[in-house]
Homo-oligomer: A and B are copies of this chain.
């Protein structure tokens, strides 16, 4: 793949799996994530951001101020003082003129290079695999033809671990900051004297010429970071902070001949003391663990080796699914960025991005189940663990804690349960896991319910303790299906509870007071509001579950579930068909929502997507409705920037609909383009066999395809955004809430399984593409159950869909499913459409 489209701000380097930013003043700060295991960092294109260990709320290591002025300020800064001229390789915060700049956001690393007056400073920020630390590898090169003696000052500010406390409890926090300095390292030990047995260290592998640990000393009281005192003065003050704001700045002085280069690294590490004695002597901490870390990374080659390991790790991950298609946007997103983003959503859920401040909600039941759909092929074992963790937050009656804390794995009692779609997503994630792995043993795992107590037995293979006599995951799936069948309203459609997938459609909470939760305040007693989306989702989930039972050879169970399916399908068709599309819901008074009878919000996207995906409007006397519903979406909701959530947008607050009507027209759920649900329509068009429309729709929200309108789009062109402003907004097409969105997982599903048609099945890998007729084919490399498949799809007749011939390892086989060989070998597959 070649470097093709280019915006004013940068381009894709597909070969190196990098997005290359060529000017620092991007329309918004453009983010990358560092870290893949427990230690994570956010890193913007100007080296802004912060770091945490496992939990952005409770173990924040460095400090960041969200929505600051400018938006992105504070991070992993290097200040260069080159003969009195002060600048940063990442441009900010000094923003000196005549700094040549490049930022390469890659897989788990960001490399920022600046050059000014012939001095080049390249920094590679990354987290080594399986380490609880990050490395800033620096290379300083004198490209000029004169001797240069620059000084470099690092800068980052420590956070006091609990991010909310760090921000809000200043009358305490400004008094407790403590550090120690020894050798080339600053040890940040706030609260280590008392209940913490962990600390943060910042060290250099090169001997330092000085240090500062006091922000006041380094920056000043009235100074901004762009005019920090020390780098402009050229000399660290060796300040020892006491209270206020601890930082770590290390000074290095260089003397470089023309052409000379120097390399060294900074290490920012989270250290748990464990059983080691906490102190060497009163007030002096035992730093042996920290010193060992510094020693390890100071060894020649250690850092370069870790960079290689990181690259190999990502190569191994991404090579599980690689494609070559006629559309460069689809290819590069699937090959690199979409899978990369799926890793981020799996790791971060919705916790820490440029829009998520890391102290709010934990893991969402609904979110995380969906995130798994795009992640499960990357590290199935992690997916397995996650499914069990999520399932354990379901209650025995079938409802689920809507959120849970990743550290404690306990449900969040504040938000509670009663979102009546939550449980159904568990069926989808479990089915996806088994289809990917063939591992049916997950169904027998003793998971139990959050409202019951169990004895705890020994650790399982995954190192997690096993509950004794607890109900299995399969039991949870049964509970989930039967819960929806039980919880139904006057039309026989599922009750909606606090909300379904659309958190902002609040049919049971009539909130009149500002600051109330739209989802939880003023619950209507005994309300019978119903959700057609849940009905559609139920159809899909029930079908998945029935298929699973069939695969398990439990045909009676499959039949039983399909009876529920058929009952719900008939209900949907008789009660929820609005004439040209599916109604979205029925409110607490029994009136339709998303119907031609409404003045605003006549047609919603979600019920079209899920009813069609669930099999409605496809057969018997209802055949044709599916297509008609999608054509209605096209007519009323589709735009060149994606499908808006509903139309017409709500102009006033509707008490009976809640938060959806609280947004200005054209944003978020009020007729914004909510990319997540767009993908369901993409899949629905694939189901209809229209690959042209599926790809057209996909490209309308594809960030890679937005480079030519980047001043409007504003967000990163390499990851999906939660939302683009809809046609009712003055900023139509502007993207927001990039990175942490269900769009990541679902576009991976819609492109890889929908358009490219590579579908893991219980019994093998199905190939059922639905591509534009103009494509003459494409190829896919897919690892699946311990074998690698080199799949070539040929489209000699210019069709969208339909497999005419399937040849595996030279032998034609009937149908469209490749067997799971599980032989650790590579297999060639040729698929002919027609």
Q: Is A169 an interface residue (CB 8 A)?
A: yes
In the bound complex, CA of A194 to CA of B58 (Å): 34
Complex contact B651–A283 (CB within 8 A) = yes
Residues of B within 8 A of A736 (CB): 171, 174-175, 243
- Docked complex: A211-264 residues within 8 A CB-CB of B: 215, 219-226, 240, 242-243, 245
Q: Is A178 an interface residue (CB 8 A)?
A: yes
Q: How far is the CA of A652 from the CA of B281 in the complex (A)?
A: 11
Q: B167, A242: Cβ atoms under 8 Å?
A: no
Tell me the complex Cα distance, A792–B195, Å: 57
Copies of this protein in the assembly total: 2
Known: A65-B65, A161-B514, A168-B360. A221 touches B652 (CB 8 A): no
Closest Cβ neighbor of A729 among chain B residues: B242
For A514, A667, A672, the residue with the greatest tally of chain B CB atoms inside 10 Å of its CB is A514
Nearest B residue to A667 by beta-carbon distance? B175
Report which residue of A162, A243, A513 has the largest number of chain B beta carbons within 10 angstroms of its beta carbon.
Answer: A243
Is the CB–CB distance between B69 and A219 below 8 Å? Answer: yes
Which residue from chain B places its CB closest to the CB of A190 in the assembled complex? B664
Across the interface, name the chain B residue whose C-beta is closest to A163.
B168
Interface size on A, residues (CB 8 A): 84
Cβ contact within 8 Å between B69 and A511: no
Q: How far is the CA of A651 from the CA of B193 in the complex (A)?
A: 8
A176 at the interface (CB under 8 A from B): yes
A823 to B754, CA, bound (A): 91
Closest CB of chain B to A689's CB: distance in Å?
36
For window 336-357 of A, CB contacts with B under 8 Å fall at 350, 355-357
Let me know if A193 and B653 touch, CB within 8 A: yes
A731-770 interface with B by 8 A CB criterion: 731, 736-737
Shortest distance from the beta carbon of A412 to any chain B beta carbon, whole Å: 15
On whether A651 and B282 interact (CB within 8 A), knowing A70-B223, A514-B196, the answer reads yes
Q: CA A69 – CA B220 in complex, angstroms? A: 9
Q: Could you tell me the distance between the alpha carbons of A668 and B360 in the complex, rounded to whole angstroms?
A: 30
Q: Quick check: which of A24-32, A323-331, A390-398, A555-563 contacts chain B, the rest being far away?
A: A24-32
* Bound Cα distance A68, B68 (Å): 9
* CA of A783 to CA of B162, assembled, Å: 50
A462 to B4, CA, bound (A): 75
CB of A171 to closest CB in B, whole Å: 5
| CB of A145 closer than 8 Å to a CB of B | no
Instruction: For A661, give its contact among B194, B196, B240 (CB under 8 Å).
Output: B194
Q: Does A172 contact B (CB under 8 A)?
A: yes
A722 sits at the interface (CB 8 A): yes
Decide: B68 and A731 in contact? CB cutoff 8 A.
Answer: no
Verify A242–B162 contact, CB threshold 8 A. Answer: no
A377, chain B: closest CB distance, angstroms? 28
Within 8 A of B (CB), among A353-368: 355-357, 359-360
A826 close to chain B: CB less than 8 A: no
Contact A667 to B69, CB < 8 A, known contacts A92-B222, A193-B652, A511-B195: no
> Assuming A68-B65, A175-B736, A514-B161, is B193 touching A664 (CB within 8 A)?
yes
Any B CB within 8 A of the CB of A286: no
| Alpha-carbon gap, A58 to B513, bound state (A) | 12
- CA of A74 to CA of B664, assembled, Å: 27
Contact across chains for A514 and B191 when beta carbons are under 8 A apart: yes
Verify B176–A667 contact, CB threshold 8 A. yes
Verify if A551 is at the interface (C-beta below 8 Å from B).
no
A240 to B664, CA, bound (A): 14
Q: Counting CB contacts under 8 A, is A67 at the interface?
A: yes
Which B residue sits closest to A46, measured CB to CB?
B222
A294 within 8 A of B: no
Cross-interface CB contact of A95 among B222, B514, B722, cutoff 8 Å? B222
- A71 in the interface (beta carbon within 8 A): yes
Say yes or no: is A512 at the interface (Cβ < 8 Å to chain B): yes
Closest to A220 in B: B70
The answer, yes or no, to whether A481 is at the interface (CB within 8 Å) is no
**Interface contact B360-A193, CB-CB below 8 Å:** no
Taken together as a complex, chains A and B put the C-alpha atoms of A687 and B222 apart, in Å, by 45
Q: Is the CB of A664 within 8 A of B178?
A: yes
Contacts of A737 in B (CB 8 A): 171
Residue in B175, B195, B240, B731 whose CB lies within 8 Å of A243: B731
- For A514, the chain B residues whose CB sits under 8 A away are 161-162, 191, 194-196
Known contacts A193-B662, A283-B651, A514-B162: A172-B69 contact under CB 8 Å: no
Q: Which residues of B contact A279 (CB under 8 A)?
A: 652
**Chain B residues with Cβ under 8 A from A516's Cβ?**
195
Chain B min CB distance to A662 (Å): 4
Closest-CB distance, A455 to chain B (whole angstroms): 25
Among A70, A167, A359, A737, the one with the most B-chain Cβ atoms within 10 Å of its Cβ is A70
Q: A314 at the A/B interface (Cβ < 8 Å)?
A: no
Please judge, given known A-B contacts A240-B730, A653-B195, whether A170 and B58 are in contact too, CB under 8 Å: no
If A357-B168, A661-B194, A664-B243 touch, does A225 touch B69 (CB 8 Å cutoff)?
A: yes
Question: Can you report 25 A-B residue pairs in the complex whose CB atoms are below 8 A from each other?
Answer: A24-B222, A58-B515, A65-B65, A65-B69, A66-B167, A67-B167, A69-B215, A69-B223, A70-B219, A70-B222, A71-B222, A161-B515, A168-B360, A170-B357, A175-B664, A175-B672, A178-B664, A191-B662, A193-B662, A195-B513, A195-B662, A242-B730, A243-B664, A282-B652, A283-B651
Sort A-B residue pairs by CB-CB distance and give the 8 closest, nearest first.
A194-B653, A194-B662, A175-B667, A171-B355, A195-B514, A242-B730, A196-B514, A282-B651
Known contacts A69-B74, A170-B355, A172-B668, then 12 further A-B pairs from the complex at CB < 8 Å, ordered by chain A residue: A29-B221, A67-B245, A68-B68, A69-B219, A69-B224, A161-B514, A162-B514, A168-B359, A171-B356, A176-B663, A224-B226, A242-B731
